[in-house]
């Protein structure tokens, strides 16, 4: 019985505490760099598109809101022909970022993307692609992959021996 | 049956098999690389290691390779033994030291056997800190893409290409961990089955080069069980679609038909579906100019042409489904329905059916052909006319040597031991043809002669088997050959005679029938296989309609002509085609690709290809097989039978008014035509529900549903309904294995690659669970006593100044639709005429020069090929490649050097 | 003591009660926020005062949906009953001298009768919804309200004894010298607890208990039908607070300020107190609720009645 009265009193005293509410939008909250907000596509340190259109983000997406089509440039470098995210379906779970083998797709601390028309929530590649490397400044998938692309021949990736000379008779 | 123990539990096993086969048949997840169900064991990759124990008291055991361990009675192995598990993980780790960091950009990713096996063994981190070996890739042609860094040296590719498919221009080079698989230099792979490397390779070294242009992962494709439409064999395929575009075709295992392999025409011909030549809108020709019109306008125009008209004739097609042909027949009435085949082709097919029904010889499936141990090919070039048959024949020559290795007690699955013991020994395969074939390298004897002489050889073989058969007079050499063939067929367990439509010769069919009958007379159970030109030639012939000449006669009285999926220009020569269109004022054509007929028709309706419609095809074996719609096409394209139902509504056809779904047509068809009543068994009806659900066409990981159409409208459309089949255009539905005729794609948990086929079979490489799909429509009766064909043709006699022009085919080019596929077109030859060097000298024709060929009322300007394999007095003209279409061969024609074309003007002349 | 213009009073009371109930929704959300270190609704209008209006507009525009499996007419009737019974109780509440709709001589009994009828609304709503959660909520409500009604009536009898009348105006006037809360403190506590239970307020909101029964008896309700349950609850709180003021705290009586203001000050205090209870106390288990009702509250209220009667007999007869 006393504890109930004590509780009532304690709760009543909260009336004089400081408010924890942040008065958005006049005040903004601090969102960490790892916050799962608007999704972007980043570029590698050389400025090339990081996305290699492997479809892993699309398949990891629990709401299936990512659609893309792979294509290749004349040197064999693969990239998405189109890359579409339907943010009106996105749940910002970050699975796409976890699935991405090239750090191309990243979630950012931007959350202000409300629209009056759902159609405006559909982002194409030109809306998604940013000019920098995002959270991972150093990684370049093509430097570790074995395939040959423009500017990187066979055997020039990290930890690769030069191409085998098939005519050598040496054991 | 033997009892084997796996992880201390007893199982029954086939003692003629190995433990890997047994474990996989029983559903165990045992990793492997070098073993292939169609190619047996070589024990090269060390991946299927298990621990074997002597008996129940043995606790130490020893590591053995499951693929090299016979499933003898009492064999005890442990798959989940810690040592074996560790060993298998170690093998993978070793393989992965050189494997590039490529999966995201590798076309195999998501259906990679190496990925599956790596996950299965648990390897996840590369501890090896040193450099990876690399290779330069080769250009291997438009079909197969090479990325050699990914190789794990399992040798499957070279075993398939050289040993299974008989290719010569592919091998392993260099040594130790630097072994390279490829050609001696860059170039197009010569073998017609090179596309199977894509499926045989357990990783991404060989990938589909056509898929690369519009790459999509397996999990994102919408599949349906389909049938290849590029020849008459009816191989089962699994085409995949994404974003309204057909992306690729992979093999769909059917134990009785194509097994694990497809030919390159079947695999890469699919791009015709995406061709810019596709008719996607109705076209109405006004004052000679074809205008795209709306569906409503097209139907209004059709009403003007058809409503109330009594005399409308319909021309069917050997490449349209039975349902479409039957819908046309119902629309115009059986008397006004014509088969849409040239007379000789029609006569030939009717003869084949008559022979198959009356001769006591079974028409074998491809699997049975593989098991035949003596083969006589009469007048056919299987590689170019019915390609997958050639691969089956390559296996058939292995049958007789198996007898010797069986005696040595070498199990047949022990592949390299068998090949070592057999060396170059081959079973009897006799090829009688007008020119060299791609199977000559495995033939015991070849015989190159004119069509009539080939028929005469057949008659002679029959005579050599049974003296009551009609006699022929032949040269001593030919008589000896006939005797040798007769002897080989008589001593074989499963003799096979192959003839067919390639040579267009009725007497060759009769000769083949006589051989089969003679074999029966001497107490041998013979097999008789006929090849047919198109995917539904056999089905259309079974419908029993009159040929084109009858249609031609009927045209002038007709109010309108409806041509169903048929380019008449491919069945009649140019002058005849012109005359036809002069006589017929109103032509309605239904087709999917622009061709000579659609370019002259008054009204063209866009028909669905095999990927956009459902239907039944009858293969040359007489097997009715159903193909299902892969995707819903955009625009006005719809199935031919639906267009015909729409036209039926205009004509107030009461029977067609009740046809709402495909099953209605099938049932009406099976009731109307007794010969085709069996097609109801080809696949389950559309009402089938498994646990209350349909079979999903999409893998359960299909991605992008809520984004793929979002650029058009952010509100997702409802998935299309499919009233015609028990399949749904969805990723949701029955999650387990559907009936065998309804398997859209193969997938098992942990097995994303095509190797998951293992878990759909009753036993590995055997029939699918529930039986292989298809319903055989033609079974031979017992000998009906109708006796031998006695019309032995006259021996061939060369003529002065004239040459007998015989047809030559090419796997890439002779088929109408696959030629619209960019990759096929790239390797298709230009039209040529081949002749003997002596004839060429006589005609003053140099190799590669142009010759003017006048034959069958037409004249063609084609390249000359001088080939010593051509018999004298005979010239082989490549047919099917435009402009050489619609010509009726063999026929006598004249040849002369072509005048130089006068293009270029005076400078060129100067 | 009856108003000279009964119709005016009637309309004023009706609209007053409904407006206060609406204001109470806002006040509750603001107060709860206050005690939880938040702000509560503060965007719509000054101090967020228009929030309730916005919510009401929203409720009116929501689809008026009756589940196809529901018992349609009963489903529609149920929310009307709760509004009806609660509003009827206001007939006998004396707000100030002359501001009363009907000065019944059995006002206390009328109030008790009306509040007993209210249970029908909840039970019928739970039954008509044809939903297991709604039914469970309805059954809980029936048991809870039946049990607590018993000692609610008994706890008032002390007051009635002291005033010697069932007429609420007489009871207020009988507190001329001393508020009944002093002699009847136990009665006051018991009545307040029973009042909370009768209005199904936290901590006694077991018929709704959203964490176990979705939303209890009104799971299937939406739009303005739900709104009626919602408003009914708040008018119920207003009623119970008014009754406490009238029965134990001298009603409108107080110095300097006009009577109606005193009445409001006292009532608002109890309204605030109820909200504080909601902010502070957890919900008991249902068996605990029933045990308290029958094993603790009932004996206590009987004892209170006994002692009050004995004292009255002994000293004031």
Query: Which of B131, B212, B703 lies closest to A55 in CB terms?
Result: B703
Residues in chain C: 317
Q: What's the confidence (pLDDT) of residue B901?
A: 57
Check if CATH label 3.40.50.740 holds for domain B277-338+539-609+634-678: yes
Chains touching A (3+ CB pairs < 8 Å): B, C
Is A58 within the bounds of a domain? Answer: yes
Please tell me the predicted confidence (pLDDT) of residue B910.
Answer: 35
How many angstroms separate the CA atoms of C116 and C128, rounded? 19
- A58-91 pLDDT, tens per residue? 999 999 999 999 999 999 999 999 999 999 999 9
Q: How far apart are the first and last CA of chain C?
A: 28
* A12/C276 touch (CB, cutoff 8 Å), yes or no: yes
Secondary structure letter of residue A43 according to DSSP:
B
Nearest CA in chain C to A18: C37
Mean pLDDT per block of 10 residues along chain B (910 residues) reads: 94 94 95 94 93 92 95 94 95 94 93 95 91 94 95 94 95 90 94 96 95 94 96 95 95 95 96 94 90 94 88 94 96 93 93 90 94 95 95 95 93 93 93 94 94 94 92 87 95 94 92 93 92 95 92 87 93 86 88 92 95 95 96 93 94 90 95 94 94 95 94 92 95 93 95 95 93 92 74 91 94 93 94 93 90 90 93 93 90 87 43
Structure tokens given for B395: 């296996």
A51 close to B (CB below 8 A): no
Q: Is B796 exposed, middle or buried (0-12, 13-18, 19+ CB in 10 A)?
A: buried
List all residues 6 or more positions away from B43 whose beta carbon is below 8 Å from its beta carbon: B34, B65, B67, B68
Number of domain units in chain A: 1
Q: Which of C31, C37, C275 to mutate to test the interface with A (most CBs of A within 10 A)?
A: C37
Q: Fill in the DSSP letter of residue B739.
A: P
User: Which residues does chain C have within 8 Å of residue A23's beta carbon, measured at their own beta carbons?
Assistant: 39
Look at residue B782 in the predicted model and tell me its pLDDT.
62
Asked if A166 lies within 8 A of B173 by C-beta distance, the reply is yes
Between chains, do C38 and A21 touch, taking CB under 8 Å as contact?
yes
Inter-chain touch A160–B134, beta carbons under 8 Å: yes
Residue C89 has pLDDT above 90, yes or no: no
Residues in chain A: 171
**Phi, psi at A67, each rounded to 5°:** -130, 140
Q: Verify whether the Cβ–Cβ distance A155 to B134 is below 8 Å.
A: yes
Place of tokens 């991404």: B204
Q: What residues of A are in contact with residue C277 (Cβ under 8 Å)?
A: 8
Higher pLDDT, C215 or B417: B417
Q: Does B127 touch chain A (CB under 8 A)?
A: no
Using beta carbons and an 8 Å cutoff, which residues of A are at the interface with C?
Answer: 4, 7-8, 10-12, 14-15, 17-21, 23
A-C C-beta contacts closer than 8 Å: 33
Residue of C nearest to A12 (CA): C35
CA B352 to mean position of chain CA atoms: 20
Q: Residues with Cβ < 8 Å from C167, sequence gap 6 or more?
A: C103, C104, C105, C106, C107
Cα–Cα–Cα angle for B628, B632, B638, nearest 5°?
Answer: 85
Task: Say if residue C180's pLDDT is above 80.
Answer: yes
C117 touches chain A (CB under 8 A): no
Q: C288 and chain A: CB distance < 8 Å anywhere? A: no
Q: Which of B265, B257, B253, B251 is nearest to B191 (CA)?
A: B265
Residues forming CATH 3.10.20.740 domain(s) in chain B: 2-96
Interface mutation target, options A13, A14, A27, chain C, most CBs of C under 10 Å: A14
Q: Which fold is adopted by the domain B347-535?
A: Dimethylsulfoxide Reductase; domain 2 (3.40.228)
CA distance B730 to B727: 9
Please, which residues have CB within 8 angstroms of residue B429's CB and are 6 or more apart in sequence? B374, B375, B377, B393, B396, B397, B439, B442, B443, B444
Picking from B12, B258, B294, B234, the residue whose alpha carbon sits closest to that of residue B776 is B234
- What is the Cα–Cα distance from B569 to B255, expressed in whole angstroms? 37
Residue A70 falls inside a structural domain: yes
pLDDT of residue C262: 87
Domain with CATH 3.40.228.10 in chain B: 347-535
Give the mean model confidence (pLDDT) for residues C160-183.
83
For C220-279, write each residue's pLDDT tens digit: 888 888 888 888 888 888 888 988 988 888 888 778 888 888 888 988 999 999 889 888
Give the 3-state secondary structure of B416-450: HHHHHHHCCCCCCEEEEECCCCCCHHHCCEEEECC
Structure tokens given for B748 = 């098992």
Omega of the bond prior to B883 within 30 degrees of 0, cis?
yes
Q: Which ipTM did the prediction report? A: 0.91
Structural domain contains residue A148: no
Sign (positive or negative) of CA dihedral B534, B535, B538, B544: negative
Q: Is A74 on the interface with B (CB under 8 A)?
A: no
Query: How far does the CA of residue B611 sit from the closest CA of chain A (Å)?
Result: 21
Per this entry, what is the length of chain B?
A: 910
What is the spatial distance between Cα B462 and Cα B475, in angstroms, rounded to a whole number?
A: 16
Which B-chain residues 240-269 have CB contacts (< 8 A) with chain A? 243
How high is the pLDDT of residue B652? Answer: 87
Determine the residue of chain A that is closest to C34 in CA distance. Answer: A15
Select from C37, C277, C280 the Cβ nearest to the Cβ of A19. C37
- Helices A2-13 and C259-280 meet at what angle, rounded to 10? 100
Radius of gyration of chain C (CA): 20
Helix (H) or strand (E) holding B285: strand B283-286
B292 touches chain A (CB under 8 A): no
Give the domain CATH number at A108: 3.30.70.3270
Query: Residue A118 is part of which domain span?
Result: 25-140
Across the interface, whether the CB atoms of C280 and A10 are under 8 A apart is answered yes
Q: Is some CB atom of chain B closer than 8 A to the CB atom of A125?
A: no
Does residue A55 sit at the B interface (CB-CB below 8 Å)? yes
Alpha-helical segments (H) within B425-569 = 451-465, 476-491, 506-521, 537-543, 548-555
CA dist., res. B560 & res. B565, Å (int): 16
Beta bridge partners of B414: B41
Domain B803-909 class in CATH: mainly beta
Phi and psi (nearest 5°) for B429?
-130, 120
Which residues on neighbouring strands pair with residue B529, listed in sequence order? B498
**Cβ distance B696 to B730 under 8 Å?**
yes
- The verdict on B136 touching A (C-beta cutoff 8 Å) is yes
Under DSSP, the state recorded for B898 is P
pLDDT of amino acid C157? 86
Q: What is the pTM of this model?
A: 0.85
Please answer yes or no on whether C35 and A15 come within 8 Å at the CB atom.
yes
Q: Is the pLDDT of residue C103 over 90?
A: no
For residues B364 and B374, give the distance between their C-alpha atoms in angstroms, rounded to a whole number: 13
Rg (CA), chain B: 28
Closest residue in A to B220 (Cα) is A59
In B554-593 the beta strands, taken as DSSP E runs, fall at: 560-564, 587-591
Tokens of B163: 């040993």
Please give the pLDDT value at position B132: 94
| Mean pLDDT of the C193-198 span | 86
For residue B865, the surrounding DSSP H or E stretch is: strand B858-866
- Give the distance, in angstroms, between the CA of residue A75 and the centroid of all CA atoms in the same chain: 26
Residue owning tokens 């509250």: C297
Note the CATH architecture for domain B2-96.
Answer: Roll (3.10)
pLDDT at C257 (0 to 100): 83
CA B865, B870, B873, B877 dihedral sign is: negative
The DSSP symbol for B596 reads: T
| CB-based contact, C280 to chain A, within 8 Å | yes
């Amino acid at each position: 019985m006393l504890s109930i009265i004590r509780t009532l009193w304690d709760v009543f005293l909260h009336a004089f505490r400081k408010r924890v509410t942040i008065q958005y939008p006049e005040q903004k909250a601090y969102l960490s760099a790892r916050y799962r907000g608007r999704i972007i596509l980043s570029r590698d340190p050389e400025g090339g598109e990081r996305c290699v259109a492997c479809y892993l983000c699309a398949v990891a997406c629990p709401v299936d809101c990512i659609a893309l089509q792979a294509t290749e440039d004349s040197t064999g470098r693969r990239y998405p022909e189109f890359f579409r995210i339907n943010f009106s379906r996105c749940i910002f779970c970050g699975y796409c970022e976890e699935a991405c083998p090239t750090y191309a797709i990243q979630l950012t601390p931007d959350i202000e993307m409300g629209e009056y028309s759902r159609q405006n929530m559909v982002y194409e590649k030109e809306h998604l692609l940013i000019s920098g490397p995002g959270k991972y400044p150093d990684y370049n998938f093509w430097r570790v992959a074995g395939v040959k692309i423009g500017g990187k021949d066979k055997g020039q990736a990290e930890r690769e021996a030069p191409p085998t000379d098939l005519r050598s008779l040496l054991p | 049956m033997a009892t084997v123990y796996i992880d201390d539990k007893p199982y029954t096993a086939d003692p003629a098999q190995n433990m890997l086969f047994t474990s996989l048949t029983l559903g165990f997840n045992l990793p492997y690389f070098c073993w292939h169900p169609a190619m047996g064991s070589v024990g090269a990759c060390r991946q299927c290691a298990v621990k074997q124990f002597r008996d129940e008291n043995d606790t130490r055991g020893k590591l053995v390779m499951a693929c090299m361990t016979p499933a003898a009675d009492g064999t005890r192995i442990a798959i989940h033994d810690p040592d074996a598990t560790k060993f298998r993980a170690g093998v993978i780790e070793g393989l992965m030291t050189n494997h590039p960091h490529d999966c995201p950009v590798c076309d195999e990713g998501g259906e990679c056997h190496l990925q599956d096996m790596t996950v299965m063994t648990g390897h996840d981190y590369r501890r090896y800190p040193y450099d990876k070996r690399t290779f330069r890739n080769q250009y291997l042609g438009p079909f197969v893409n090479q990325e050699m860094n990914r190789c794990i040296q399992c040798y499957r590719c070279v075993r398939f290409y050289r040993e299974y498919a008989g290719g010569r221009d592919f091998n392993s080079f260099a040594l130790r961990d630097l072994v390279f698989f490829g050609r001696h230099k860059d170039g197009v792979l010569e073998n017609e089955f090179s596309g199977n490397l894509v499926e045989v390779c357990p990783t991404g070294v060989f990938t589909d080069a056509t898929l690369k242009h519009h790459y999509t992962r397996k999990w994102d494709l919408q599949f349906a069980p389909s049938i290849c439409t590029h020849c008459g064999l009816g191989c089962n395929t699994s085409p995949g679609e994404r974003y309204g575009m057909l992306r690729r075709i992979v093999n769909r295992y059917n134990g009785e038909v194509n097994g694990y392999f497809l030919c390159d025409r079947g695999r890469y011909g699919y791009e015709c579906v995406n061709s810019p030549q596709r008719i996607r809108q109705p076209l109405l020709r006004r004052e000679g100019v074809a205008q795209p019109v709306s569906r409503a306008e097209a139907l209004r125009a059709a009403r003007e042409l058809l409503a109330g008209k009594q005399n409308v004739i319909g021309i069917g097609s050997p490449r349209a489904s039975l349902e479409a042909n039957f819908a046309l027949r119902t629309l115009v009435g059986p008397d006004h329905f014509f088969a849409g085949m040239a007379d000789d082709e029609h006569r030939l097919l009717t003869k084949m059916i008559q022979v198959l029904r009356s001769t006591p010889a079974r028409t074998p499936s491809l699997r049975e052909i593989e098991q035949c141990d003596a083969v006589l090919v009469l007048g056919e070039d299987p590689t170019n006319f019915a390609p997958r048959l050639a691969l089956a024949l390559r296996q058939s020559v292995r049958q007789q040597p198996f007898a010797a290795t069986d005696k040595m007690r070498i199990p047949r699955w022990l592949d390299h031991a068998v090949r070592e013991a057999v060396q170059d020994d081959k079973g009897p395969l006799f090829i009688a043809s007008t020119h060299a074939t791609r199977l000559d390298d495995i033939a015991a004897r070849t015989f190159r002669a004119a069509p009539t002489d080939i028929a005469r050889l057949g008659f002679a073989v029959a005579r050599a088997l049974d003296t009551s058969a009609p006699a022929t007079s032949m040269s001593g050499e030919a008589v000896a050959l006939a005797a040798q063939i007769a002897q080989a067929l008589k001593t074989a367990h499963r003799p096979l005679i192959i003839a067919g439509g390639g040579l267009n010769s009725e007497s060759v069919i009769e000769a083949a029938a006589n051989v089969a009958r003679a074999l029966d007379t001497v107490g041998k159970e013979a097999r008789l296989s006929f090849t047919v030109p198109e995917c539904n030639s056999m089905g259309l012939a079974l419908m029993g309609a009159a040929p084109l000449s009858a249609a031609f006669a009927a045209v002038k009285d007709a109010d309108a002509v409806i041509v169903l999926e048929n380019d008449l220009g491919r069945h009649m020569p140019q002058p005849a085609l012109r005359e036809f269109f002069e006589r017929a004022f109103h032509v309605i054509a239904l087709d999917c690709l622009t061709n000579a007929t659609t370019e002259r028709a008054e009204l063209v309706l866009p028909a669905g290809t095999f990927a956009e419609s459902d239907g039944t095809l009858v293969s040359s074996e007489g097997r009715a097989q159903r193909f299902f719609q892969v995707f819903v096409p955009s625009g006005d394209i719809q199935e031919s039978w639906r267009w015909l139902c729409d036209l039926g509504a205009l004509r107030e056809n009461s029977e067609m008014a009740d046809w709402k779904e495909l099953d209605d047509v099938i049932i009406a068809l099976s009731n109307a035509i007794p010969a085709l009543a069996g097609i109801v068994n080809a696949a389950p009806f559309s009402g089938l529900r498994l646990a209350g659900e349909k079979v999903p066409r999409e893998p359960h990981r299909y991605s992008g549903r809520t984004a793929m159409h979002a650029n058009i409208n952010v509100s997702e459309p409802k998935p299309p309904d499919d009233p015609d089949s028990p399949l749904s255009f969805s990723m949701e539905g029955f999650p387990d294995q559907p009936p065998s005729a309804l398997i859209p794609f193969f997938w098992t948990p942990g097995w994303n690659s095509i190797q998951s086929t293992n878990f759909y079979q009753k036993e590995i490489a055997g029939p699918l669970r529930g039986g292989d799909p298809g319903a055989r429509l033609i079974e031979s009766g017992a000998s009906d006593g109708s006796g031998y064909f006695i019309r032995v043709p006259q021996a061939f006699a060369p003529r002065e100044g004239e040459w007998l022009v015989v047809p030559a085919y090419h796997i890439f080019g002779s088929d109408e639709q696959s030629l619209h596929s960019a990759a096929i077109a790239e390797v298709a030859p230009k039209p040529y005429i081949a002749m003997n060097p002596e004839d060429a000298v006589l005609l003053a024709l140099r190799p590669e020069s142009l010759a003017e060929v006048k034959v069958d009322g037409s004249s063609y300007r084609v390249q000359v090929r001088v080939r010593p394999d051509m018999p004298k007095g005979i010239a082989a003209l490549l047919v099917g490649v435009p402009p050489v279409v619609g010509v009726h061969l063999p026929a006598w024609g004249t040849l002369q050097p072509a005048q130089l074309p006068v293009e270029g003007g005076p400078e060129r002349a100067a | 003591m009856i108003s000279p213009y009964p119709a005016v009073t009637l309309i004023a009371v009706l609209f007053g009660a409904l407006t206060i109930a609406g204001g109470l929704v806002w006040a509750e959300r603001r107060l709860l926020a206050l005690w939880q270190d938040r702000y509560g609704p503060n965007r719509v209008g000054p101090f967020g005062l228009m929030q309730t209006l916005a919510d009401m507009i929203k409720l009116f525009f929501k689809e008026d949906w009756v589940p196809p499996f529901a018992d349609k007419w009963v489903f529609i009737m149920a929310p009307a009953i709760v509004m009806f019974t609660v509003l009827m109780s206001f007939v006998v509440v004396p707000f100030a001298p002359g501001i009363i709709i009907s000065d019944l001589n059995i006002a206390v009994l009328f109030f008790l009768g009306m509040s007993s009828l209210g249970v029908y609304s909840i039970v019928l709503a739970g039954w008509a919804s044809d939903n297991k959660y709604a039914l469970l909520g309805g059954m809980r409500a029936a048991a809870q309200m039946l049990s607590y009604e018993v000692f609610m009536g008994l706890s008032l009898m002390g007051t009635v004894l002291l005033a010697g009348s069932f007429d609420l105006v007489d009871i207020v006037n009988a507190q001329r010298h001393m508020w009944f809360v002093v002699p009847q403190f136990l009665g006051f506590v018991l009545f307040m607890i029973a009042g909370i239970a009768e209005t199904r307020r936290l901590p006694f909101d077991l018929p709704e208990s959203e964490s176990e029964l979705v939303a209890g008896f009104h799971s299937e309700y939406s739009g303005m039908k739900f709104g009626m349950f919602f408003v009914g609850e708040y008018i119920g709180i207003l009623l119970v607070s008014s009754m406490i003021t009238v029965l134990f705290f001298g009603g409108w009586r107080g110095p300097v300020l006009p009577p109606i203001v005193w009445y409001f000050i006292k009532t608002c205090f109890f309204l605030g107190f109820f909200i504080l209870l909601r902010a502070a106390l957890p919900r008991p288990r249902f068996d605990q609720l029933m045990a308290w009702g029958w094993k603790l509250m009932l004996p206590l209220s009987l004892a209170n009645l006994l002692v009050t009667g004995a004292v009255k007999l002994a000293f004031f007869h």
